[in-house]
Structure 1
């Protein structure tokens, strides 16, 4: 399973051909998103029309919710990397979701996650 970061889903919704091609190679049945990504997408919508568009396109993509193990991992990551690497709370939660579920993380911001131990980054965007 590949967990898609918020920026990947945004590019997918915008019709970015490179991202679409990679998602097609992975397979729609093999991708998911964090509940944080889902919240960021809804928060970033400009109006109700965009909310409906996002909801329609997220249908069928599993959203992995925050549970105790993810929370504990996210707190640990925040403690370790919020000052040294400017790790944000949403990124800590997304990274923790990937690590705890043993998923690869597909992101356009590899630099935001590459220093995190045990994270597997999906790096096949060509």
Structure 2
């Protein structure tokens, strides 16, 4: 099992939560290959702001068990670079995704996502995505 930390996008967590058979989720697949996971504080915000109280209890317990990476100065500088690059290409993505991608890139983490379309626009970001069968 690989020792590196994998940053999880909100789409991975939502997919895991919604699946009645957790073993069919991409997160379950990732957990068979990697032992350490993190999320951007932006992902924590997206998940908790869209949750009811029962869901918040589940997610708060989840977030206490993994690393939550703050959106710090290093992440902000990376986000600015990414924003200017995407703006120049006229391929902007939603700001939460930009901040999540910038956090992963600034901390040299691979990003696991089901939203490969948007995150693949971020140059130099290594993405783990579910392969289509």
The bucket for the TM-score relative to the shorter chain is 0.7 to 0.9
Name the SS for the 1:10 alignment partner: helix
User: What is the rounded CA distance, in whole Å, between the counterparts of 1:88 and 1:124 in structure 2?
Assistant: 21
Q: Give the strand-richer structure, 1 or 2.
A: 2
1:10 matched residue in structure 2: 14
Q: Does 1:54 align with 2:62?
A: no
Q: Say whether the 8 Å CA contact 1:33–1:63 is kept in structure 2.
A: yes
After TM superposition, the structure 1 stretch with the greater mean CA deviation from structure 2, 58-67 or 101-110, is: 58-67
Name the SS for the 1:59 alignment partner: helix
Report the alpha carbon displacement of residue 25 of structure 1 after superposing the two structures with TM.
1.6
Length-normalised TM-score, structure 1? 0.86
Say which structure, 1 or 2, has more relative contact order (CA 8 Å, 6+ apart).
1
After TM superposition, the structure 1 stretch with the greater mean CA deviation from structure 2, 7-16 or 33-42, is: 7-16
Report the alpha carbon displacement of residue 121 of structure 1 after superposing the two structures with TM.
0.7
Length-normalised TM-score, structure 2? 0.82
Paired residues, number = 124
Partner deviation per Cα, 1:78-109 (whole Å, 9 max, x = no partner): 23215712311111111111111111110001
Report the alpha carbon displacement of residue 59 of structure 1 after superposing the two structures with TM.
2.4
Name the SS for the 1:8 alignment partner: helix
* Structure 2 residue ranges without an equivalent (≥5): none
* Structure 1 residue ranges without an equivalent (≥5): none
